Amino acid sequence: MAFVKGAWRILVAIKDGLVLLFLLLFFGALYAALSYSPKPGKTVSSGALLLDLNGSIVEQPAEIGAMALLSGSGPDAKEYRLSEIVAALDSAKTDAKVKAVVLNLDGFLGGGQVAMARVGKALDAVRAAKKPVLAYATLYSDDGYQIAAHATEVWSDPLGGVAIMGRGGSNLYYKGLIDKLGVNTHVYRVGTYKSFVEPFTRAEQSPEAKQANQALAGSLWQSWQDDVAKARPKAKIAAYAANPLAAAQAAGGDMGKAALANGLVDKLGDEAAFGERVAQIAGEAASDKAGSFATIDLASYVKARKPPNDGQIGVLTIAGDIVDGEAGPGTAAGDTISDLLLTALDEKELKALVVRVDSPGGSVMASEKIRGAILKAKGDGLPVVVSMANVAASGGYWVSTPADIIFAEPDTITGSIGVFGILPSFEGTLAKMGITTDGVRTTPLSGQPDIAGGTTPEFDQIMQLGVENIYRRFVGLVAQSRKKSPEAIDAIAQGRVWDGGTARQIGLVDRFGGLEEAIAEAARRAKLDPAKAKAYYIEKQPDSFTAFVQSVADREQGDASAPPRDMLARQALIQRGWAMQAVSDVKALVMGAGVRADCLECRGYGAPKHRNAAQQRSVLAMLAEYWR
């Protein structure tokens, strides 16, 4: 009897706990719904519009679930939507309440050259409206300095400075490890420059890949210098970047003084001194905290001025890796994106479609599914305009082929028209452990692909023929889209990656311009007034409860997740991110899509890809397994 009573008490406790949890979720959702009313905020305080960018700028922030936020397993840095930052700066130009724009770049991790140039253009417009722009960081890196160069005043902490790294760097090559493990990597590829497979088949870059990558890095680096030099003529950026050692030696190792002497910054001072300077322009804050000033919060400012999502120009964002199946924003899942577009075509009276692409590619099947949905829009009579952001390569170019016209920027990375497939088999690994395989067959393909015993020559040849067939299809799609012969496209394809300026010269893109220009062109083609055309963003909207939890998390997080501020620690953090990406590529060798149109080298030029705590633990566990 005592056992029954004890069990009953446990059941009652579980019931009470579940009821309490339900009530908490219910009232949290109710509060979120009330807090996130679609009505814009009526008032915003006067002061400086503060862009405290503690993370990276992206085309489409990744979706973070409410439970991940509550459990603290969300990403290690915040993502800011490029279009919202640009819209806020455009509003600030004519808003009498905005006395200045302030950039706090201490926690800024980057966002890619195209995004930085677009933010810089918006900052130039603010300055043209006679409003000061002030930037502060302990240590500026390339992306941060590219936008800081557009400021009226650039400040650095005396213990900081400017660290210009330039374009380029190292990739990891796994051939030695693969050989030691006895893994047999079966590669099926087309394209002289399709270097995605090289880390699995070589110990270094091929001469062809090195030549192409050097040309790409050189072009982007020159463009970066031109942008900075135009924005800040007094900065001796070329000499400083070419010989940073000489600059450091001349300043006795004081990188802050070196940056000041070379015109890269205007003043050295800590954050409190910088805040006092801003307060002279924008007004004093209600708080007595040192360095505080009258501030207009970016998130509140964006929310207060966010227009209704009810335009006639559909804007479909394809951001992140292209993968099969379903996924949230920030990942270009074939099923999700195609369903979103087809639903919008069915439910909305759209007059044109703009496809915004910021993706290095991925699964061929998912790319084709997205392309099919875009063709449906075109079949319905909608003009289709593609707008390329930082990267639109491989699968990112595949989904662009239905376009009537393609816009890109000079710094856009595109092309990489090539196809490959990778399949590992472990007969060598098993043999080292004394394990062999044997069996019977009724056809050459019986049991294939046999990852334990190895593939047959017939299977390998069939796979190679299949990849070659998909490559011909890819080339044919591009040829039809660009109105060129397949032979002409094949000559500029072969998996080679191009910068936007060269891509325009060889006919892979039509015009230079950003998303705004693409929307205006779509409106003209739909016979609408570009000045009055409004966008309808075709993407999944976060639920109110998740938005509420995110706002609470942002307030509680504060500066706790700010990245380290000295040069060595900052670079270690960035390199850790790229190293984790490389390890993920090894994981993709086993778990990724079979046939891919992907671009490995493109990943080093966009926004850093943040990982949550669970992903980091899984990667570390994977590394630990390798070293056991």
Active site residues: 194, 394
- Alpha-carbon span 48 to 236, nearest angstrom: 29
Q: How far is CA 69 from the centre of its chain?
A: 20
Tell me how far apart the alpha carbons of residues 399 and 387 are, in angstroms, rounded to a whole number: 11
Whether the Cβ atoms of residue 459 and residue 449 lie closer than 8 Å to each other: yes
- 111 DSSP β-pair partners: none
User: Do residues 290 and 275 touch, judged by C-beta distance below 8 A?
Assistant: yes
Instruction: Give the H/E segment covering residue 582.
Output: helix 567-591
Query: CA-CA distance, 472 to 451, in Å (whole number)?
Result: 28
Q: Where are the beta strands (DSSP E) in 63-191?
A: 78-81, 98-104, 133-140, 153-162, 184-190
User: Residues with Cβ < 8 Å from 397, sequence gap 6 or more?
Assistant: 361, 414, 415, 416, 417, 478, 508, 597
Phi/psi-derived region of residue 416, left when phi > 0, alpha when psi is between -120 and 50, beta in every other case: left
Q: 3-class DSSP state for residue 503?
A: helix
Contact 101, 134 (CB under 8 A): yes
What 3-state class would DSSP assign to 455?
coil
Q: What is the DSSP string of 467-494?
A: HHHHHHHHHHHHHHHHT--HHHHHHH-T
- When computed from its CA atoms, the radius of gyration of the chain, rounded to whole angstroms, is 26
**For residue 152, how many other CB atoms are within 10 A of its CB?**
16
Residue with tokens 């509420």: 548
Q: How many beta carbons lie within 10 A of that of residue 251, not counting itself? A: 17
End-to-end alpha carbon distance in the chain? 52
> Which contacts of 37-42 are long-range, i.e. CB under 8 A and separated by 24 or more positions?
38/308, 40/303, 40/304, 40/305, 40/306, 41/300, 41/303, 41/304, 42/304
> Cβ-count burial of 252 within 10 angstroms (0-12 exposed, 13-18 middle, 19+ buried)?
exposed
Residue at token pair 């390339």: 142
Pairing of strands 184-190, 419-425: antiparallel
Report the C-alpha gap between 297 and 554 in whole angstroms: 12
- Rounded to the nearest angstrom, the gap between the alpha carbon of residue 525 and the centroid of all alpha carbons in its chain is 29
| Alpha-carbon distances of 278 from 127, 140, 556, 575, rounded to whole Å | 15, 19, 25, 34
Q: Is the peptide bond before 449 cis (omega within 30 degrees of 0)?
A: yes
Strands 78-81 and 55-58: parallel
Strand 595-598 relative to strand 361-363: parallel, antiparallel, unpaired? antiparallel
Could you give the C-alpha distances from 132 to 50, 118, 121, 335, in angstroms and in order?
A: 12, 18, 14, 46
